[in-house]
């Protein structure tokens, strides 16, 4: 078996191999040395995703086929656990894994892997002497979460193209992996299949609650720990200024997500010149999810676009979401 498939099991080539192998869910659930190793390894894969701060050390390499099929079963486990935060962690972990493998490969292999992955993930590119040139539309799909001025189109675009150095190309590929894994999950599996997987998913569920992989519903609200952008919006409201629609949405959804109650949020807006109790209450309720949909506050890049970002230094430089700022500050209080 081609080692590439084991290293990068989310590629189209790997999917073709799995299909052609004739191995099925049932055959992997049938006891035997191979399926035991696969299941064991897939649990490790998911456990590492749950646990990892992405800095933990990589899992030991198994036989190529075990590597590949443990990815397949790992997806099944994540799908049966059905927690969106796990799906995200799993995608992050696979992306990090791809990044490490690409970066640590020897030069000849590295070039080969990069070329194959670009083709496999459908990223059209013209490469020349370790410079990778992409059309901007192909790049911005993957750079949304990457921080730092070098990833902003504004600093890179030249006649519709962006030229990347090899180390940058690897980062973009890892993002492409993350999105591919993320968008492929959860799989639609029958409840019967998930029942059979319970012996493997239940310890994973336990592990999840141990690291509290759930949205923060923790403790009292601390306005002190709010990021500068939210503090600025709060003081604008206090000063009796009307907020723009995007700003109001950002502030309300932020306050709701750090655990403020509807009444408390409505109270914040009381000093607005256009304050209307019923309307404000309705809006806050809507954003808080009375309508069945929870809104997450906008990330840093959106705040920036609408002119609501006030700071890009210090802690702000290291986070990409106002909520991450808040959580980080809470941790260190």
Positions touching another protein (CB under 8 A) are: 135-138, 140-141, 143-144, 149, 152-161, 163, 246, 301-302, 304-307
Smaller CB separation from another protein, 115 or 131: 131
Minimum distance, C-beta of residue 160 to another protein, in the bound complex (Å):
3
CB of 311 to another protein, least distance (A): 13
Closest by CA to 142, choosing from 115, 177, 107, is: 177
The answer to whether 269 and 237 have CB atoms below 8 angstroms apart is yes
To another protein, the closest distance from the beta carbon of 320 in angstroms equals 12
> Is the Cβ–Cβ distance between 187 and 288 less than 8 Å?
no
| CB nearer to another protein: pick between 225 and 251 | 251
We find the least distance from the C-beta atom of residue 82 to another protein, in angstroms, to be 20
Residue 206 or residue 317: which is nearer to another protein going by CB? 317
Torsion angle, alpha carbons of 261, 309, 307, 136, to 10:
-120
Task: For residue 6, give the H/E element and its range.
Answer: helix 3-7
Q: State the Cα–Cα distance between residues 282 and 116, nearest whole angstrom.
A: 52
**Which of residues 21 and 133 has its CB atom nearest to another protein in the complex?**
133
Which of residues 129 and 224 has its CB atom nearest to another protein in the complex? 129
Taking the chain, what is the end-to-end CA distance rounded to the nearest angstrom? 52
Strands 126-128 and 131-135: antiparallel
- Smallest gap from Cβ 154 to another protein, in A, equals 5
Q: What are the counts of helices (DSSP H) followed by strands (DSSP E) for the chain? A: 18, 3
Smallest gap from Cβ 315 to another protein, in A, equals 18
Q: Which three-class secondary structure state does DSSP give residue 195?
A: helix
Q: How far is the CB of 305 from another protein (least distance, A)?
A: 5
Q: Who contacts 275 (Cβ-Cβ below 8 Å, separation ≥6)?
A: 269
| Tally of CA atoms within 13 A in the half-sphere of 102 that contains its CB | 26
Nearer to another protein, 83 or 304 (CB): 304
Place of tokens 């084991």: 6
Closest CB to another protein among 32 and 307?
A: 307
C-alpha distances out from residue 188 to 74, 75, 252, Å? 14, 11, 34
């Amino acid at each position: 078996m081609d080692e590439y498939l084991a290293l990068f099991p989310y590629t189209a080539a790997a999917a073709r191999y799995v299909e052609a192998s004739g191995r099925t869910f049932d055959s992997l659930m049938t006891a035997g040395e191979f399926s035991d190793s696969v299941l064991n390894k897939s649990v490790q894969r998911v456990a590492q995703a749950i646990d990892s701060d992405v800095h933990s050390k990589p899992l030991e390499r198994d036989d190529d086929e075990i590597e590949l099929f443990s990815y397949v079963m790992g997806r099944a486990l994540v799908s049966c656990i059905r927690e969106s935060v796990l799906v995200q962690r799993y995608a992050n972990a696979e992306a990090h894994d791809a990044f490490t493998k690409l970066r640590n490969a020897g030069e000849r292999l590295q070039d080969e892997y990069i070329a194959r992955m670009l083709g496999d993930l459908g990223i059209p590119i013209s490469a020349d002497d370790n410079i990778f040139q992409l059309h901007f539309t192909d790049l911005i799909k993957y750079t949304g979460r990457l921080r730092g001025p070098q990833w902003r189109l504004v600093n890179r675009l030249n006649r519709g193209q962006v030229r990347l150095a090899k180390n940058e190309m690897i980062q973009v590929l890892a993002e492409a992996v993350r999105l591919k894994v993320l968008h492929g999950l959860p799989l639609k599996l029958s409840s019967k299949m998930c029942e059979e997987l319970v012996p493997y998913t239940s310890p994973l569920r336990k592990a999840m609650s141990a690291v509290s992989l759930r949205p923060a519903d923790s403790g009292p609200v601390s306005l002190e720990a709010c990021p500068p952008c939210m503090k600025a919006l709060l003081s604008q409201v206090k000063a009796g200024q009307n907020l723009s629609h995007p700003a109001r949405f950002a502030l309300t959804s932020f306050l709701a997500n750090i655990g403020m109650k509807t009444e408390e949020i409505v109270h914040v807006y009381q000093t607005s010149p256009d304050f209307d109790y019923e309307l404000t209450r309705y809006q806050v309720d809507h954003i808080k999810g009375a309508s069945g949909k929870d809104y997450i506050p906008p990330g840093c890049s959106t705040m920036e676009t609408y002119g609501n970002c006030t700071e890009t230094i210090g802690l702000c430089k290291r986070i990409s979401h106002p909520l991450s700022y808040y959580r980080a500050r809470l941790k260190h209080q």
